[in-house]
Amino acid sequence: MNWNNVKTRETRTIIINREENTLNLVDLGWNQDFESKFNQINNKENYQVARVAVEYKGIYKLYTEAGEVLGEITGKMRYNNKFPVVGDWVIADLQSGGKRAIIHDILPRKSKFSRNRAGSKTQEQIVASNIDTIFIVTSLNQDFNLRRIERYLTIAWDSGANPVVILNKADLCDEIEVRKSEVESIAFGVPIYVIAALENEGVDQLKRYFKRGETVALLGSSGVGKSTLINSLLGKEKMKVNNVREDDGKGRHTTTRREMILLDEGGIIIDTPGMREIQLWDVSEGIGNSFSDIEKLAQDCYFNDCQHESEPKCAVKKAIEEGIITEERFNSYKKLQRERKYIEIKKERGANAMEKYKWDIIMGEES
């Protein structure tokens, strides 16, 4: 595959979420970095590159130069627990006249938004990959929650993508500037936009993030208006929209699966189901970025190992007393720190168990 050819070659018409339009790999997010990774593969002449658009149960909708196809992974990938996610670039073998595909491998990801899979088992769940920007969407009704935004920001900072906070449903809020100011106090250096997607107000300012080949993932709880925002950006009713409950402002799940959507003007959206509770995975740097104010204050504590509890000359406790940071923000910081350590311990125990299992097999074979 030649990079110059990729940018200029004619492609068959793909009917995806557009009207009839030609589409090539660059529209899908292909670039020189992915090209370099693909060129390192042996026998690549027999394969096509494709991007995962939708993930069903064991079946994947793929966007390729040849059009839209359905694919499944090889038995080897399944055995090695190697499953693609929406946004992945995969190596595929097109079959049945280009209508079906067998996925043989996944190209290294440039970014990924991960969380700990729900349930008692400690396991990474990649929500979306190869994203450039993460829209953290929250609503300005009674479901507004600063602590939840902190959690999303913490995970987003470790994804490799750039976080952006979207404050939706401005038409339902009488204290917009107060709410925006509160978010500014916890989202240092992060762009914040106030919109009313249902009224199509303020949405145009978001279009700067949708450039050719650029991917934006939408994250947020149910009922914050992600589907309405997508419809507004598309200029048509594509996504089903549910009403929220009037008593608490919370919504039901509208989106039931992750899906990659292409905009007519260029750019890609990855829609995701609402996540009210999102558990941490690997956020060693994310906590430092999200709570840089607290960690900077901690450098002035008298003791290097200060836990900011009852130690004398604690700069963090002094800042709380003086109102520089709130008790709620500090408690959120400590909670996420404890959760991170808990996940690390569980992962370490799991790795040790796997290592013991492996050596039990080896020793059993030698005896």
CATH at 41: 2.40.50.140
CA distance 278 to 80: 26
Claim to verify: residue 40 and residue 54 sit in the same structural domain: yes
CA distance 141 to 165: 15
Return the ∠ at Cα 314 (arms to 311 and 319), rounded to 5°.
140
Q: Which amino acid is residue 195, in one-letter code?
A: I
Claim to verify: residue 179 and residue 315 sit in the same structural domain: no
pLDDT by residue, tens only, the chain of 367 residues? 443 443 333 333 333 443 444 468 999 999 999 999 998 887 777 788 999 999 988 899 999 888 889 999 999 999 999 999 999 999 999 887 777 899 999 999 999 888 766 555 666 778 899 999 999 999 998 889 998 999 888 888 888 899 999 999 999 999 999 999 999 999 988 999 999 999 999 999 999 999 999 999 999 888 899 999 999 998 866 555 555 444 544 445 455 678 999 998 889 999 987 555 566 656 566 787 788 899 899 999 999 889 898 889 999 999 999 999 999 999 988 888 887 777 677 666 655 554 554 455 444 444 3
For the entire predicted model, the pTM comes to: 0.78
232 marked ligand binding residue: no
- As for how many domains the chain has, the answer is 3
308 marked ligand binding residue: yes
Claim to verify: residue 131 and residue 27 sit in the same structural domain: no
Q: Are 184 and 209 in contact (CB under 8 A)?
A: no
Q: What pLDDT sits at residue 264?
A: 86
CA distance 99 to 90: 16
* Structural domain includes residue 216: yes
Query: Last residue of some domain: 40, 75, 106?
Result: 106
Return the ∠ at Cα 212 (arms to 56 and 31), rounded to 5°.
80
* Structural domain includes residue 298: yes
In 3D space, the residue among 185, 106, 197, 152 whose CA is nearest the CA of residue 287 turns out to be 152
Q: What pLDDT sits at residue 159?
A: 86
Secondary structure letter of residue 51 according to DSSP: E
Claim to verify: residue 169 and residue 150 sit in the same structural domain: yes
33 marked ligand binding residue: no
Q: What pLDDT sits at residue 4?
A: 40
224 marked ligand binding residue: yes
267 marked ligand binding residue: no
222 marked ligand binding residue: yes
Q: Are 172 and 194 in contact (CB under 8 A)?
A: no
223 marked ligand binding residue: yes
Q: What pLDDT sits at residue 186?
A: 92
Residue 67 domain boundaries: 3-106
Claim to verify: residue 220 and residue 345 sit in the same structural domain: no
227 marked ligand binding residue: yes
Mapped onto helix, strand or coil, the DSSP state of residue 103 is strand
Claim to verify: residue 237 and residue 321 sit in the same structural domain: no
CATH at 341: 1.10.40.50
104 marked ligand binding residue: no
* Structural domain includes residue 285: no
Contacts (Cβ under 8 Å, ≥6 apart) of 58: 72
